[in-house]
A and B are shown apart, each in its own frame.
Chain A
Amino acid sequence: MRPTATDLKSVDARDAVRPRRRRLSLGTREALWAYAFLLVPLAFYAFLRIYPAIQSFNLSLHRWNVDPAQRTLVGFDYYREMLSDAKLHQALKNTVLYAAIVVPGQLVLGLGIALMLNAVRRLRPLFRAIYFSPYVTPAAAVAWVWGWMYSVNFGILNNTLIAWSDFVTRLGAPWLSIPAQPFLNSPHQALPAVAAVVVWQQLGFQVVIFLAGLQGIPRMFYDAAAIDGAGGLQRFRYVTLPLLNPVMVFSVIISTIATLQLFDQVVNINFTDQGGPLGSTLSIAVYMYQQAFSKFQIGYASAVTVLLFVLILIVTLVQLRLLQRRVEY
Chain B
Amino acid sequence: MVDLETFGESRRRTDAGTVVAYVLLSVGSVAMFFPFVWMVLSAFKPIREIFQLTVLPHTWTWANFQQVLFHTAFPRWFLNSLVVAGISTVSVLFFCSLVGYTLTRLRFPGRSVLFVIILSTLMVPTEMLVIPWYVMSTQYHWVNTYWGLAFPGLIPAFGVFLMRQFFQTLPRDLFDAGRVDGVSEFGLFWRIGLPLVRPGLAALGIFNFVGNWNAFLWPLIVAKSPAMRTVPVGMALFSGEASTQWNLIMAASALAIVPVLLVFFVFQRQIIEGVVLTGVKG
Residues of A within 8 A of B (CB): 10-11, 14, 27, 30-31, 33-35, 37-38, 40-42, 44-45, 48-53, 55-56, 59, 113, 116-117, 119-120, 123, 125, 127-134, 136-146, 148-149, 154, 156, 159-160, 163, 200, 203, 205, 208-209, 212-213, 226, 232, 246-247, 249-250, 253-254, 260-261, 263-264, 267-268, 271, 284-285, 288-289, 292-293, 298, 301-302, 305-306, 308-309, 312-313, 316, 319, 323
Contacts and interface: CB of A to CB of B under 8 A. Distances in A.
A27 B107 CA distance: 8
Interface residues of B, number: 93
A305 B131 contact: yes
A208 B275 contact: yes
B253 A313 contact: no
B221 A293 contact: yes
Contact of B102 (A37, A120, A133): A37
Query: Interface SS of chain A: helix, strand, loop or mixed?
Result: helix
A306 B18 CA distance: 49
Given A38-B102, A145-B38, A308-B128, A130 B32 contact: yes
Contacts of B10: 226
A89 to B, nearest CB: 18
B142 to A, nearest CB: 11
A138 B265 contact: no
Interface in B235-282: 235-236, 238-239, 246, 249-250, 252-253, 256-257, 260-261, 263-265, 268, 271-272, 275-276, 278-279, 282
Contact of B136 (A52, A120, A292, A308): A52
Nearest to A291: B131
A241 to B, nearest CB: 17
B125 A312 contact: yes
B172 to A, nearest CB: 13
Given A37-B106, A205-B275, A267-B236, A139 B216 contact: yes
Contacts of A264: 216-217, 232
A212 B272 CA distance: 10
A145 B186 CA distance: 49
Contacts, number: 266
A138 B107 contact: no
Contacts of B127: 261, 263, 284-285, 288, 305, 308
Contacts of B236: 140, 143, 267-268, 271
B198 interface: no
B25 A120 contact: yes
A32 to B, nearest CB: 8
B108 A34 contact: yes
B35 to A, nearest CB: 5
B261 A141 contact: no
Interface string B100-126: 011000111101001001100101111
Interface of B: 10, 13-14, 17-18, 21-22, 24-25, 28-29, 32-33, 35-36, 38-39, 42, 51, 53, 95, 98-99, 101-102, 106-109, 111, 114, 117-118, 121, 123-136, 151-152, 154-155, 157, 160, 184-187, 189, 210, 213-214, 216-217, 220-221, 231-233, 235-236, 238-239, 246, 249-250, 252-253, 256-257, 260-261, 263-265, 268, 271-272, 275-276, 278-279, 282
The 10 A-B residue pairs whose C-beta atoms are closest, nearest first, are A250-B282, A52-B132, A31-B108, A140-B232, A141-B256, A116-B21, A34-B108, A55-B132, A34-B106, A305-B128
B109 A31 contact: yes
B85 to A, nearest CB: 11
Contact of B261 (A52, A128, A137, A298): A137
Nearest to A118: B21
The residue in A52, A213, A312 that gathers the most chain B C-beta atoms within 10 A of its C-beta is A52
Contact of A31 (B107, B186, B260): B107
Given A59-B131, A141-B231, A132 B272 contact: yes
Given A41-B98, A41-B155, 15 more contacts: A45-B121, A52-B132, A120-B25, A128-B272, A130-B32, A132-B271, A136-B263, A137-B261, A138-B231, A139-B216, A141-B252, A163-B53, A200-B32, A209-B279, A309-B128
A274 B10 CA distance: 56
Nearest to A51: B132
Contact of A140 (B14, B109, B185, B216): B216
A136 B210 contact: yes
A289 to B, nearest CB: 7
A93 to B, nearest CB: 18
A283 B154 CA distance: 28
B21 A52 contact: no
A59 B264 contact: no
Given A59-B132, A141-B232, A11 B114 contact: no
A145 B124 contact: no
Contacts of A156: 38, 53
Given A41-B155, A154-B51, A268-B236, A53 B124 contact: yes
A302 B214 contact: no
Contacts of A302: 131
Contacts of B125: 260-261, 305, 308-309, 312
Contacts of B130: 292, 305
A302 B157 CA distance: 23
Given A34-B111, A45-B155, A116-B21, A137 B32 contact: no
B121 to A, nearest CB: 4
Contacts of A125: 268
